[in-house]
Chain A
Amino acid sequence: MKYAYYPGCSLETSGAAYDVSTRAVANLLNLHLVELDDWNCCGATEFFSQDELTASAVVARNLALVGPDFDQLVAPCTACYLNLKKTDHLMRGDKKMSDKINEALAAGGLNHQAGRVQVRHLLDVIHADVGEAAIRDKVVRPLNGLKVACYYGCQMVRPFNDVDDSEQPTKLDDVLAWLEAEPTHFSAKAYCCGGHMTQISEPQAFELIRRILQNAADGGADMIACLCPMCQLNLDAYQSRVNRHFHADFRMPVVYFTQLMGLAFGVERKKLGFGKEIVAAGPVLERKLRTLQQVG
């Protein structure tokens, strides 16, 4: 299975653990991810706030760079995923806009034929294209006893709800169950993490982060598994500041689901980016997974 791979900017730095664990897991699952050559930033939510046509053209450059050998583009970051998918969707539905975007792309010698490339989120590829049997087959270190709150956030499940339910999605819970972890009851699983609000208005963002951490803790989770670098950053890096703000004492590790997949597949933790999280996952994993104490 061959896919064009769009890591996105966060996965180069703050979300590096997501990139390295994605590549490690893809390798074991025979998912051939070929990084899109010379891709550019998707503009996150910031560019669309200023100029829709330019923002769309900037996103469309990436779609246009997908070579003729590929018909699918995979993004692990939900913000990138949504921008790529939304732009292609916009071009398919709006001929006038599509022509303008292509006129802009032509200034750089490029063209994008809307609908030629299917934009996929990594979780969808793992759930649908790899599937249960192949994943169970690779598990050498089952995650029995590990209680995981599966956190989807917003932009993989909304506004498009063609991959999973937009209110109570289940695909990440499925994958974690295939690894033999125990997905917990977690009604905040598709709540908003606050996005860029941590940069703009901390009290606003902190309350959104708090209710997610609280809900995960109430459900008895040992850790949160997430699928977006922005969610991971907000829930993990800001956790101590949220604690200070609310006089709370959350100690909830937040890791990428691909890290847990790699762990179950027997990959060494340091090759999966463990240790990059601010709230350490190591002690919890060692306490919960007896097999880890022997292997490392």
Chain B
Amino acid sequence: MIAMPTDQRGMAFLDEVIEEVPGGERLLHCLQCGSCSGSCPNGPDMDYTPRSIFALIAAGQREKVLSSNTMWCCVSCYACTTRCPQNIPITDVMYALKRISLREGMATGTDAPALAKTFTGLLERYGRSFELGLASRYYLFNKPLSMLKMGPLGFSMFTRGRMSLTPTRIRQLDQLHAIIEKARQLGGAT
């Protein structure tokens, strides 16, 4: 077998990805058939299509994979997952690549991580999502010029009673926070 580049823990990248995904060992069975790439609605915008990404993972091309925009183009439509003849949980692999890439600070060239972080920040603060808060914070810090374009849309949503100016808070925020804190501890995130 060809020697593969390894990460600091001395683990081949393929194993690292497999460990991160429930059912990830199915990756070993990838046939490189390309059903995933052909099914992907965002395939044309990816640095590497899903099929290429799996080849790169197997080849231990850690940096190329983790700094690519591929997983950030994935919007979880699961078309690839249901079509994969080898039952690889492809969408979950994409989620795993997002997580590893974020942990390693390698997510660049996309606003997707900023949106994800703004979203979960609000979830943690209120227990519910807050669309106006999400839109204003995310656009202000990431695409301030787009705020002008979004203005009319926001106004139409507001006049139709589809946008709240204030967030809804759950009652037992302390309970939610305790759960989140414990989960982070168990996952080794704190």
Q: Which residues of A contact B (CB under 8 A)?
A: 9-10, 12-16, 38-41, 43-54, 56-58, 61, 90, 93-94, 97, 100-101, 103-110, 154-155, 158-159, 161, 166-167, 191-192, 194-197, 199-201, 204, 208, 237-238, 241, 275-278
Contact = CB atoms under 8 A, between A and B. Distances in A.
B44 to A, nearest CB: 9
Given A54-B180, A104-B179, 7 more contacts: A41-B128, A50-B102, A104-B186, A110-B175, A192-B75, A241-B153, A276-B161
Contact of A16 (B110, B149, B161): B161
Given A196-B115, A237-B156, A58 B176 contact: yes
Interface of B: 20, 22, 41-42, 45, 72-73, 75-79, 81-82, 89, 91, 95-96, 98-99, 102, 110-113, 115-117, 119-120, 123, 127-129, 131, 135, 138, 149, 153, 156-157, 160-164, 168, 170-172, 175-176, 178-184, 186-187, 189
Nearest to B41: A192
Contact of B123 (A43, A109, A158): A43
B153 A41 contact: no
A241 B183 CA distance: 41
Given A14-B162, A237-B153, A278-B156, A50 B79 contact: no
B81 A159 contact: yes
Contacts of A196: 75, 112, 115
Contacts of A14: 131, 157, 162-163
A46 B120 CA distance: 7
Nearest to A161: B82
A247 B73 CA distance: 25
A166 B82 contact: yes
Question: What 3 pairs between A and B have smallest CB-CB spacing?
Answer: A158-B78, A107-B182, A195-B75
Chain A CB within 10 Å, residue with most, of B98, B111, B186:
B186
Contacts of A58: 123, 176, 179-180, 183
Contact of B78 (A61, A90, A154, A277): A154
Contacts of B179: 57-58, 61, 104-105, 107-108, 110
Contact of A9 (B76, B128, B157): B128
A81 to B, nearest CB: 13
Chain A CB within 10 Å, residue with most, of B41, B128, B176:
B41
B160 A275 contact: yes
B187 A54 contact: yes
B76 A154 contact: yes
Nearest to A104: B183
Contacts of B76: 45, 154-155, 195
Nearest to B116: A46
Contact of B172 (A15, A38, A49): A38
A187 to B, nearest CB: 14
A61 B99 contact: no
17 contacts: A12-B128, A41-B129, A44-B119, A47-B123, A49-B95, A49-B98, A51-B189, A58-B180, A100-B183, A103-B186, A107-B179, A108-B176, A108-B179, A191-B41, A200-B111, A200-B112, A201-B111
Contacts of A13: 131, 162-164
Given A14-B162, A41-B123, A104-B183, A199 B138 contact: yes
A159 B175 contact: no
Nearest to A64: B179
Contacts of A16: 161-162
Contacts of B120: 43, 46-47, 50
A161 B135 CA distance: 33
Contacts of A53: 183-184, 186-187
